Structure 1
Amino acid sequence: MTSFDQAGSAPRPQSLMLTFFGVHTLGRDVALSGGSLIEVLGQAGITEDAVRSTLTRMVKRGLLERHRRGRKTYFGPTERATRVLRDGHDRIWHTGAVNRDWDGTWTLVGFSLPEAWRRERHDLRSRLVWNGFGPLQSGLWVAAGAVDVPEVVAGLGLDAHLRVFQGAAAAGPTDARTVLRTAFAVESIAKGYETFLARWSADEEETDPANALVRQLLLHTDWLEQVRQDPHLPAEHLPEDWPAADAEERFHALARRFEEPARREAASALDVIPVAGSSA
């Protein structure tokens, strides 16, 4: 079976857990039994203790909520987790990995926070990275396209410390390729896609694979990791051999191949109950 270990890195239990909920509960208003999660994630190489501790941690972080039915405990995504799952779904299936529609606009965010505000600085940078920003220089971050920054930083309480601009870069020292090379790890992003292609090449010819449920879980987790690391840079300013399009085509082919056998496995393997809606 394809495994992250073949490339020297293993998926984090929480990443696998979120992927699993995203594929099998998003839009359904259901919760999964702890036993089901232990069984499926165990096939992906995650120990029972690791699954239990991850579930407990995700409940404490407000990502999952418990539902008890008799002696069984079920877990479903909270509204907060559902927003995260929907964002991941949209990035995979709607935004895509290749940005062919850039209009030349850049969004810049400048900030200066007190030295003691380490947590606030970490939270802000995490939000910026997640939304396609890279550090252009100290205290100045940039993203390709028009980004709704108030939405990005909502709830952080840092509005008074931010300066936001949108516009086009001048020619010469601030041309688009220079901005990309300065603010973003372009080579590292490309390497991620190349690694994805190499990792999943062995599954390309299989039509109805065994262990499709776990393969689907690993595939989607791996691809979402690539998408999260990619700030959706304008394709016209990237190298001609940029591997994102080939990697996305491979993902789509395998996702289609795994979908039906994984659905059948899930129908027989998962202990599911309906719960009050968090999918809307």
Structure 2
Amino acid sequence: MRSTSLLLTFLGDHLLDRGVCVYSGSVIEVLGRTGVSSEAARSALTRLTARGLLRRQRQGRRMHFGLTPRSTRILRDGAVRLWKTGAVNDDWDGTWTLLAFSLPASSQRERHDLRAQLGWAGFGPVQGGLWIAPGRPAGLADLELGPHIRVFRAQADPVTDIGEMISHAYDLPAVAARYTDFGARWASPVFPGDPLAAKLHLVTDWLQIIRRDPRLPIPHLPSDWPAAAAQELFFSLNNRLATPAAEIAATLLETIPADE
């Protein structure tokens, strides 16, 4: 698991909306418990700072790190995805977001990048340059919508076989496999003697899975769709780990008030 992903989970758990900066040594110690070397932890701090996701704040000879407006927005979006939106789309309003794009043949790199962005935002290809996503995907706000892109909201006509459309637009076996694999990985204790490390790995693992899930409507998915069972396991494990993880973190983290 990437050190930057674990670091972002740590920031969401312990810095978001708390108005504090954390001592770099505390970050290195916490990530070390998850198996991240001190060199990799320092590198992750440097990379996130270079990307505008962290800012430095010195106190005496010690360097502390705090959130930026950009990282605050990203972490809040992640928190909504984790604790509110979830992995099960059982309140779909029947609408679809349609996105059409047309790029010149010379823009192969731009086309490739756009398709990657659309996939991460929950869209699947219907045909040609037409992509769909159920409801109003949260990832739409992060797309760079240039002059070659048009976005619409619509409902499918009764003659449309939505199940067939979904099966062609999305790789359902791959999405299902990620949830099944999650259940297999977490069926037995991970980091059994360290609730803080276990929680960081658990939340990071789960967030990476649900961020790649387009949240397709439950009525149009196979009856044995594994997302609900995996989500129940995630919440159960997180509830079990939350209090002891917070108690350990309280003894390890050195923080100072963030500058205005």
TM-score by length of 1: 0.86
- Closer/same/farther in 2, CA of residues 59 and 136 from structure 1, 3 Å limit: same
Alpha-carbon separation, structure 1, partners of 2:85 and 2:202: 18
1:227 equivalent among 210, 223, 227: 210
- Closer/same/farther in 2, CA of residues 148 and 53 from structure 1, 3 Å limit: closer
Alpha-carbon separation, structure 1, partners of 2:197 and 2:177: 25
2:36 is the alignment partner of 1:46: yes
2:87 is the alignment partner of 1:97: yes
Alpha-carbon separation, structure 2, partners of 1:70 and 1:248: 44
| 8 Å contact kept, 2:163–2:220 | yes
2:194 is the alignment partner of 1:211: yes
| Gapped regions of structure 1 (runs ≥ 5) | 1-10
2:154 is the alignment partner of 1:164: no
Give the secondary-structure state (helix, strand or coil) at the position aligned to 1:66.
strand
Alpha-carbon separation, structure 2, partners of 1:50 and 1:148: 31
- Closer/same/farther in 2, CA of residues 264 and 75 from structure 1, 3 Å limit: same
Query: How many aligned residue pairs are there?
Result: 260
How do 1:167-206 residues align onto structure 2 when only pairs under 5 Å count? 167-172=154-159, 174-203=160-189
TM-score by length of 2: 0.92
- Closer/same/farther in 2, CA of residues 213 and 246 from structure 1, 3 Å limit: same
2:71 is the alignment partner of 1:81: yes
Deviations 1:169-196 (A, max 9, x none): 2345x42111211111111111111111
| 1:73 aligned partner, one-letter code | M
Partner residue of 1:132?
A: 122
| Gapped regions of structure 2 (runs ≥ 5) | none
Give how far 1:28 is off. Answer: 0.4
Partner residue of 1:33?
A: 23
1:59 equivalent among 49, 53, 78: 49
Q: Which moved more, 1:180-189 or 1:116-125?
A: 116-125
| 8 Å contact kept, 1:128–1:152 | no
- Closer/same/farther in 2, CA of residues 126 and 59 from structure 1, 3 Å limit: farther
2:12 equivalent among 15, 18, 22: 22
2:61 equivalent among 62, 67, 71: 71
> What percent of counterpart residues are identical?
49
| 1:222 aligned partner, one-letter code | D
RMSD over aligned Cα atoms = 2.2
Alpha-carbon separation, structure 2, partners of 1:254 and 1:175: 38
